[in-house]
Chain A
Amino acid sequence: MELILDTLGLAKSAELLSLSPPGWGGNLLRGLANSLQIAFGAFGFGLLIGLFGASGKLYGGVVIRDLLAIYTTVIRAVPELVLILILYYVGTDLINQAASAMGYGRVEISGVVAGIWVLGIVQGAYATEVLRGAIQAIPHGQIEAARAFGMPPFMLMRRVTIPAMMSYATPGLANLWLIATKDTALLAIVGFSELTLETRQAASSTRAYFTFFLAAGALYMIVTLFSGAVFGRIEKWARRGQPSLRGAGK
């Protein structure tokens, strides 16, 4: 193993990337864990917002529909970086005001919670559109049938709408998940130590820029390819029972 690395001239890189100090591999993996944690949280929070947002856009009153339209349009027109800063400052300000109103001192907000809050609101706007499209793609008769049987709205959502829309929503949600994992890199700019910031710190203290940025790129690629495979499985599962369209368009 060492011989191969030596002949390829990669011995130094392997040393830098080793998991135990003085190697920086452990730092990178810790950063990756932080990134994934935030991506999971933000994706989940975004889905929750999206579910309510889509219901509001489809079945809500005029005012709710207009407000949601403003929410999705504004979020999708302003750069994530700017939104992250605005939401970050608004979030910390609100919490600190609430804390001082209740008689506590300044609260230090954990990076993970702030990241999930900020990215979740951004994801929610996109999820609203994805889920709205998916719900609209459900044959209307299915929902009407459930209503005709007197199903309460929440049960209707759980038993009919969500299972039926899964196959339409999965490709869009897979995209959203990938955007979530990549958007976590933006939190590096507000100083949260996720993968990209850990990489930059490692790179600038060892001067081995290519080694570390390529290693981080490989980690992101692994996440991307792995999630692609997982979402492929989910889509296949969501489409079970649907006739195959392969060769139908030819």
Chain B
Amino acid sequence: MGPPRSAVVAGGGQMMGWRSLMQPHRIVLMALFAGLVVWCAISLRWDWIPEYTPLAIEGAWRTIWILVVTTIAGFLLAIPLGLAQAIGPWYLSVPAKTFCTIIRGTPLLLQIWLLYYGLGSLFPQIPWIRGSELWPYLRQAWPYAVLALTLSYAGYEGEVMRGAFAGVNKGQLEAANAFGMPRFTMFRRIWLPQAIRNVLPTLGGETILQLKATPLVATITVVEAYAVSSRVRSDTFIVYEPLLLLAVFYMIIAGIIALLFRRFELKTGSRA
């Protein structure tokens, strides 16, 4: 999906020079903002923090861990999906396209619930799954969360990679062919790196979107950052403070992702 997704990185990665920050109206705005922060720190309730710190760290760690695992696994899945759609024969491209359309056409929350409640109610009825060594894991919620988020990322990225593979300059592939480069080497050395380089900004935006999708797994009892804030809310009836802190947490992670991708882009020269 185009404009709003790629725009995420452009907005987050905007580097401001010291001079542009020092304009009078910005100083006033920053002073107002600092005042707001001080007001929040003084007049809102923060006494719940020490009690919930260990849980919050655990939750934040789980959010990051889920994000990293699902983006990497999803991206690895997206490469064959994109390739199948770009150059595959119809019996590969049609299923790949159908998969991407379905993933992109239904809400992620529905997919997560389908996998968790659907598979979760189906598996106990099958004896050999109950007997297998994987059963202790399949009884927990996180494998379903990781699976759902991985498939979702793969579905969106498969579409992105299709365009990326199709966009690589044909002459380069022909040149590699003419030199007698084996097909896999050509793919590994020329086609894939250039395809990835071309869509790095989009991938950055998609990764931020994936971060924003992680709180959904709290609905299937995975205790990540969002679930911790929900627990604070239901335990202490403090509404705004945990949510504000949570929003700040997500903004920091989104900023880090934007910075990381900016560095990748500068390194690979995909941003002139």
Contact = CB atoms under 8 A, between A and B. Distances in A.
Interface of A: 62-63, 66-67, 69, 72-74, 76-83, 85-86, 89, 126, 129-130, 133, 171-172, 175-176, 178-179, 182-186, 188-189, 196, 199-200, 203-204, 207, 209-210, 213-214, 216-217, 220-221, 224-225
Contacts of A78: 212, 247, 250-251, 254
- Dominant secondary structure of chain B at its interface with chain A: helix
Given A79-B211, A82-B246, A217-B106, A126 B4 contact: yes
Contacts of B5: 175
B4 A172 contact: yes
B109 A210 contact: no
B255 A203 contact: no
Contact of A79 (B26, B213, B219): B213
Given A79-B213, A79-B215, A217-B106, A129 B11 contact: yes
B106 A221 contact: yes
B117 interface: yes
Interface in B141-198: none
Interface of B: 1-5, 7-8, 11-12, 23, 25-26, 29, 101-102, 104-111, 113-114, 117-118, 121-122, 208, 211-216, 219, 226, 229, 239-240, 243-244, 246-247, 250-251, 254-255
A116 B118 CA distance: 30
Contact of B7 (A129, A185, A213, A225): A129
A226 to B, nearest CB: 11
Contacts of A171: 2-3
B110 A176 contact: no
Contact of A73 (B1, B12, B104): B12
5 contacts: A66-B26, A82-B246, A182-B107, A186-B107, A217-B106
Given A62-B25, A209-B114, A77 B107 contact: no
- Dominant secondary structure of chain A at its interface with chain B: helix
A178 B1 CA distance: 10
Contacts of B215: 79, 81-82
B165 to A, nearest CB: 17
A77 B254 contact: yes
B117 A86 contact: no
B117 A209 contact: yes
A237 to B, nearest CB: 20
Contacts, number: 145
B3 A216 contact: no
A63 B24 CA distance: 10
Nearest to A214: B114
A85 B117 contact: no
A133 B1 CA distance: 15
Contacts of B110: 185, 196, 199, 213, 216-217, 220
Contacts of A207: 121
A77 B102 contact: no
Given A89-B240, A214-B114, A196 B250 contact: no
B4 A176 contact: yes
B122 A210 contact: yes
Nearest to A218: B106
B252 to A, nearest CB: 9
A76 B14 CA distance: 14
What 7 A-B pairs come out closest when comparing CB atoms? A185-B107, A224-B105, A213-B114, A172-B3, A77-B254, A79-B212, A126-B4
Contacts of A182: 106-108
A83 B4 CA distance: 17
A16 to B, nearest CB: 14
Contacts of A188: 109
Contact of A77 (B12, B117, B246): B12
